[in-house]
Amino acid sequence: MDIQSVLNNAWNHREQDLNYLIELLRIPSISTLAVNKADIQTAVEWLLKRMQEIGIKQVHTIETDTHPIVYGEWLAAGKDAPTILIYGHYDVQPVDPIEEWRTPPFEPTLINGNIYGRGTSDDKGQFYMYLAACEAFLRTGTPLPVNVKFFLEGSEESGSSGLDRVIEDNKDLLACDAVLISDSTFLNKDTPAITTGVRGNTYFDVEVNGPDHDLHSGSMGGVVHNPLQVLVEMLASLHDTNGKINIPGLYDRVTELNPDERAEYNQIPYNDDTIIKEINAPSLWSGEIGYTPLERLGIRPSLSLHGISGGFTGPGMKTVIPARVSAKVSIRLVPDQDPVEIAALFEKHIRAIAPKTVRVNVNVLSRAHPAVVNTSSPYLAKTRLAYLKVFGKEPVLMRNGGSIPVVGDFQKTLKAPVIMMGFGLPDDNLHAPNEKYCLEHFYKGIQTIIHYFSILSE
């Protein structure tokens, strides 16, 4: 196999690959908003057509509770070659607040070696590299050295509801020797990172209802318990003075690393100064006392407040006591924590601390299991070699504070190692305005994947 001709072909077609990515990025495939349902279908049709043009076979959709999976395969490497399942998600986050974007979120813009737009890093830019790598092989008439299957999801940003059942129902179709996911970041610009674990997640909508309509604060202030006041007091009580999540039973299944494991984990060069520089914050919150920032990001649970709605927030004044308010809350989970159990503990606690002057509803919007990967897998070891060939540096192994719901589902059903080889950067503004992706990493990522497929065949 002439791997150099494939690498040269990919490099010579890098502008074409970028243009295809730009086409995909222009599609506002926001999975969580009903108004974008037609855009989701547009993205599906675009991927089906592009994969067929590349030469991927058996391209079709798999229906889910929400948005379709786009599936395709190329299995001509033969039964003795490894079969790799490539996962990505074509859906993206909402763009709010739109006024903070410096460029239109769905008009990809090239600035200083980066491409800006929603989905650039999370995850269209990262999964498209695999399609580009496959095309470089097939365009040169070089058979891929491994069998590949593509599993491109459309609901990752809205909780991947029902995806575990889809994988179970299609486990024969999806059977593989390893799963590849690129939906994470380097440690920094110069240091690749392989993600060895992701946190789980439970996401809630907490609703507090008082009177049956909004009230005049002059007429009823001091008599009616303001639902907005109740909500913020309840939310403020969810952490204790030591930064620990104040929900009984939440830590019962949290496993502590032993001293040697903690010492090794904290060798990763990621500290307060690094984080402050990345996010341009005045200082970091001390968080859970007794744990380093790296530990609090990867191996400890966390609770976050995402937004409050209700009452009056427009220009000017309106002296109103709102009848109904709500908040979005999530809890990131670590290995051995069960999202169903944590959801029950959260709801029980919220109801216990709610005063009798209001009515409270807790809706669970999504759940995802935490997962850790087998770091002794030969598929992971060969990933390190591929990074070294292209970036000149071996990656560090570290856990990721975010959630990729499908990781645990793949491990449970397919019994295959999951390899998370990300190419994003910590300052890519994931889920925020001005999301970006480094073009150097886009091009080098394609080269890394070509090397990885070649190494796997040796």
Listed as own residue / partner, the contacts of 32-38 with beta carbons closer than 8 Å and 24 or more positions apart are 32/93, 32/94, 32/157, 32/158, 33/94
Tell me: cis bond preceding 190? Omega within 30 of 0 counts. no
Identity of residue 385: L
Neighbouring CB atoms inside 10 A of 269's CB total: 11
Whether residue 101 contacts residue 417, with contact meaning beta carbons closer than 8 Å, is answered with no
Residues 6+ apart with CB under 8 A from 123: 88, 89, 90, 156, 182, 183
Structure tokens at 375: 């770091």
Identify the active-site residue in 122, 135, 156, 409. 156
Neighbouring CB atoms inside 10 A of 394's CB total: 13
Identify the active-site residue in 17, 39, 91, 122. 91
Identity of residue 446: I
Neighbouring CB atoms inside 10 A of 85's CB total: 23
Phi first, then psi: give them for residue 72, nearest 5 degrees: -160, 160
Please give the helix or strand (H or E) that residue 86 lies within, else none.
strand 83-89
- Taking the C-alpha atoms of residue 408 and residue 385, their distance in angstroms, rounded to an integer, is 25
- Taking the C-alpha atoms of residue 298 and residue 265, their distance in angstroms, rounded to an integer, is 10
Residue 430: which region, alpha, beta or left (left: phi > 0; alpha: psi -120 to 50)? beta
User: Known catalytic residue: 91?
Assistant: yes
Q: Indicate which residues carry an active-site annotation.
A: 91, 156
